[in-house]
Structure 1
């Protein structure tokens, strides 16, 4: 598990650096790409990542982890290398899509390693590893971009190469020994689970849509609307990231002890919506730092409880296919969000994107407040 966590750390460091900082900043300022093209490139990444999760889950139930992860990380390495020679928008979009293909397996594998005992606590640990990588990537990338975009690019290539090399050390065996079940039978089982899961579908899609809308416009929003430069933007990300990381494990343990997860979701989504909307008032830098910290705490309240809740709907004998399907459903919002955010920002500016995102999170919190008692596990 530690080896997989290290690979996940490297993969998400590069992912965060590419999608949150390198593509939006380098793409707009150096390549001259518009925000809608940047949004499409980010969507291409999540489109391939999401589209393949179901197939990868199926493969992980049949082939060794090392084969699937190693092959995927090789493809992601090719995507990062291609980005360095991208001179046209379609090449940037292609490189981003290739990276999405490659990083799909590692997250599914890590989810399959989490056992039922104290699941929310373990999910908190896993999300801590994930968020450290995803948060540190753009922070380091922002600082380095002020010095040398080329060095930043080569660092991302080196880290992608390191993740690929480490995948050779993974034990060459399947994730678990299971009775082989025909795909049609597995889908029938998952279909039954999905019917039970229908009350959660609004949250699964809308929360990822709201978050993904912000990805292509955040650096531009911070600079143009908040008057924050690249270095200060890094401190904002650091404040939010550190509070998220610090809160994930305690929130996971608290969720395990309390049992019910409704109020974690209601409070987390509601506070996230209010805080996000407060940023549109263009507060001073010190207030932005405080708001970023609150965003991080509210996010930490949601993540462990949310994924522990989803785990109740995964058939024990179809872990790979189950988590692949869940990730695919959540990925619908991730695919749509960047395009919506990029197009809306190109037409009306960055502030309306933040407002719409805040509204979506507020609606999710309201939905679970009203209907939470009708859902299993809440």
Structure 2
């Protein structure tokens, strides 16, 4: 079985425990902010929607804006220590939530929790790239993310189902889950990310600038329509929420199913075609959506989006794994994740302005233009410059 995995057998058990710990923390976080607080905060804390949604905003900002420093800590201080700190901060937040009757206290707890979690993804992706089997780096990174992200939905749906009937029971459930995470993290306390041997040639750090367009654009383009996708589906595409959910599930399942195949191709033949082609397909999907496709066309577009994402994800990860410097890799990865977070933060605001000024199609057309420009930019970049 081990020969089919993209990670080396040595250290795999520790790595999978870390993946489980990060996944559970993601589930607790989504369950807390999106599943619990909408029901718990108004009834038990006397805090309105503006207060607890701002808590989530402050949490996200504190995490995303500190990922460069968080990545540095994960690599220099020890990943086991920073994971344990994040688990403890989450448990402390849950423990003190019943006392957070003042908005400022809830916000402080959210910020501290966010700061502690800034080490998780830079550390985990760096570790995944370091223990990847040579030639399987793209799959190692892509599969790592796909193992973690489902926990977001599990936490949201699971806690939300309990919280709408028994908010206090939902908080207890979250505390139990976070307690398990804390015990798991403490068992990994001494772990450190392995440091590779020093490379002979100095890295041209100016090259890091070429990673920024895709880091920002990949999140900014879809975020342009993220907050009003339900209204867009209803008014422009005549889709009810359940139909939209079914289409999104179809596209996501296809992308996940194709990932082993596309990841293998990237590892064997290179990331260039996958990265450029994936961005181009995502651009096609967004521009086509702007012109009111039929239901059958929507199914085709969802399939194209699944193929596009299954190409882009390993293509992007392969590009990073092959070309980021080994020295301070976690800090650099954290910086790129901060740029991705800015795309998520700015996209909805820009999309709203475009919608208000030019109509619902404008954000889709703008998003497609972003994807097309990124595809062209990296096609030219790979042609003009030498990359690993």
Residues 57 and 322 of structure 1 are in contact (CA less than 8 Å); yes or no, is this contact kept in structure 2? yes
1:294 is matched with which residue? 304
> Gapped runs of 5+ residues in structure 1?
182-188
Counterpart of 2:253? Answer: 242
Distance of aligned partners of 1:349 and 1:161 in 2 relative to their CA distance in 1, 3 Å threshold: farther
1:59 is the counterpart of 2:73: yes
Q: CA deviation at 1:287?
A: 5.0
The alpha carbon displacement at 1:3 in A equals 0.7
Residue number in structure 2 paired with 1:197: 208
Per the TM alignment, residue 32 of structure 1 is displaced from its structure 2 partner at its CA by 8.8
Shift of 1:198: 2.7
367-376 or 120-129, which deviates more = 367-376
Alpha carbons of structure 1 residues 157 and 214: separation in structure 2 relative to 1, 3 Å: farther
Partner residue, 1:128: 146
1 CA distance for matches of 2:158 and 2:357?
A: 28
Deviations 1:345-372 (A, max 9, x none): 5776655333322221122112223333
Tell whether 2:324 aligns with 1:314. yes
For 2:344 and 2:284, locate their aligned partners in 1 and report how far apart those are by CA, in whole Å: 21
Structure 1 contact 79–97 (Cα < 8 Å) conserved: no
Is the Cα–Cα contact under 8 Å of residues 124 and 249 in structure 1 kept in the other structure?
A: no
Alpha-carbon distance change, 245 to 79 in structure 1, aligned in 2, over 3 angstroms: farther
| Deviates further, 341-350 or 98-107 | 341-350
Aligned partner of 1:186 in structure 2 is none
1:273 equivalent to 2:287? Answer: no
RMSD of equivalent CA atoms: 4.3
Q: 1:32-43 counterparts in 2 under 5 A?
A: none
Taking the aligned partners of 1:357 and 1:45, their CA distance within structure 2 comes to 26
* Pairing 1:174–2:161 present: no
Which shows bigger deviation, 111-120 or 5-14? 5-14
> Displacement of 1:301 after TM fit?
0.6
Q: CA deviation at 1:16?
A: 6.0
Q: Over residues 85-141 of structure 1, what are the superposed CA-to-partner deviations in whole Å (9 max), with x where a residue is unaligned?
A: 999998987776555434322212221222351211212321321343356566x47
Q: 1:211 aligns with which of 222, 238, 243?
A: 222
Measured in 1, the distance between the counterparts of 2:373 and 2:48 equals: 36
Bigger Rg over Cα: 2
Q: Please say if 1:359 is aligned against 2:365.
A: no
TM-score normalised over the length of structure 2: 0.73
How far apart are 1:254 and its partner, in Å?
Answer: 0.6
1:87-236 map, 5 Å: 97=111, 100-114=114-128, 115=130, 117=134, 118-134=136-152, 140=157, 144=161, 150=167, 154=171, 159-176=177-194, 193-236=204-247
Instruction: State how far apart, in whole Å, the 1-side matches of 2:232 and 2:175 are.
Output: 28
Displacement of 1:310 after TM fit?
1.6
Say which of 334, 337, 343 aligns to 1:324. 334
Other structure's SS at 1:176 match: coil
- The answer (yes or no) to whether the contact 1:112–1:319 under 8 Å persists in 2 is yes
How many residues in Structure 1 have an aligned counterpart in Structure 2?
A: 361
Q: When the two structures are superposed, what TM-score results if normalisation uses the length of structure 1?
A: 0.75
**Which among 19, 22, 31 is matched to residue 8 of structure 1?**
22
Counterpart secondary structure, 1:172: coil
- The match for 1:50 among 60, 64, 72 is 64
* RCO comparison, higher one (Cα < 8 Å, 6+): 1
8 Å CA contact 1:51, 1:328 repeated in 2: yes
- 2:87 — aligned with what? 73
| Alpha carbons 1:49, 1:101 under 8 Å: kept | yes
Gaps of 5+ in 2: 1-14
Report the Cα distance in structure 2 between the residues aligned to 1:290 and 1:146, rounded to whole angstroms: 37
Taking structure 1 as reference, are residues 17 and 353 closer, same or farther at Cα in structure 2, changes over 3 Å only?
farther
